[in-house]
Amino acid sequence: MSPRLELRALCRVVVDNDFSGDPDGLLALAHHLLAPSNRVVLVTSSFLNRTLPGPHPTAADGAAVATELVEVVGGPVPLVLAGHDHAFDPADTDLSPAAAAIVEEARRDDPLPLYLVCGGPLTNVAAALRAAPDVAGRLTLLWIGGSLREGVFEYNRDTDPAAAEFVLGLPELAVHQFPLETYRRCAYSIAELEHDVGGAGRLGQWLWTHFTNPPDWVVLGGVWPQGDSPPLLVTALTDESSTYTETPAADGRGLRRVYTDLDFRLLMGDLLARLRLHERDRLPS
């Protein structure tokens, strides 16, 4: 076996997503877990949009499949918790296990910066920040959601618009946003997905299997965007080859960054290499 460069963790990551929906969230979670330069300390699951056709798995269902993935990957095991199965209500003081754990992690003293990566509705994030507004300055939110154009439906924002309005309205919160127009650039053909991911060992096959039974509302036409992966350019790789607009931090205001283009080749190249290395490492010596 060839020698391996040792990479050190540069940040802590909480991964929040609706894991029982579009399986691109599972692909992104696997990548986070495989990348040694970010340390996944918590995984939280959110609810699905009830207006879409077909059955509606719960946040607990999402936590269960995320737990299965964590076990398939192996290695350090982060806590996996579910949020509520309803949209954010600012008057609701009942804190879900997911939101409570986000607060606890944000308050924990650690030399590594904390990134809260959200690839779904901001429900759990909003509940955590409503309960503990003091932690807004202790983390950076990386959100897949919203849109550059007005009047366009965007699933993550519009599944829980009250949560998005509350979270993005907190001036002290640092936010890196990957809007619809940007994350749709992560176009990956289904043939490539089957060949590249499904053919990359046992973990790759596990991931591909979850793409073969898509939710009823997914309409397949040869392409399946891997839109939940872009935050890895910040947490595990580099965003130097991506582009963004930025509003710098000021007194009482966190940095706001909106990505307008990204290095998808770097994202998928790293993921596929890590899947193959994961399989190689599991082979008997």
CATH number, residue 253:
3.90.245.10
Question: What per-residue confidence (pLDDT) applies to 232?
Answer: 98
**100/160 Cα distance (integer angstroms):** 19
pLDDT at 285: 55
> Does 8 reside within a domain?
no
Please measure the distance between the N-terminal and C-terminal CA atoms of the chain and give it in whole angstroms: 9
Confidence (pLDDT) at 210: 94
9 assigned to some structural domain: no
Q: How many domains does the chain have?
A: 1
Structural domain of residue 29, as residue ranges?
18-215+232-282
Model confidence at 214, pLDDT cuts 50, 70, 90, reads confident
Q: Which of 69, 68, 131 is nearest to 101 (CA)?
A: 131
Query: Has residue 239 been placed in a domain?
Result: yes
- Is 162 domain-assigned? yes
- 224 falls within a domain: no
Q: Check whether 147 has a pLDDT greater than 70.
A: yes
**pLDDT the model gives residue 1:** 60
Pairing of strands 243-247, 256-261: antiparallel
pTM: 0.96
Whether 1 maps to a domain, the answer reads no
- List, for residues 239-272, the tens digit of each pLDDT value: 999 999 999 999 889 999 999 999 999 999 999 9
Task: Kindly tell me if the per-residue pLDDT of 114 is higher than 60.
Answer: yes
Q: What is the mean pLDDT of residues 113-133?
A: 98
* pLDDT tens track for 156-170: 999 999 999 999 999
Whether 274 maps to a domain, the answer reads yes
Q: Is residue 6 part of a domain?
A: no
pLDDT digits 0-9 by tens, 35-90: 999 999 999 999 999 888 778 899 999 999 999 999 999 988 999 999 999 999 99
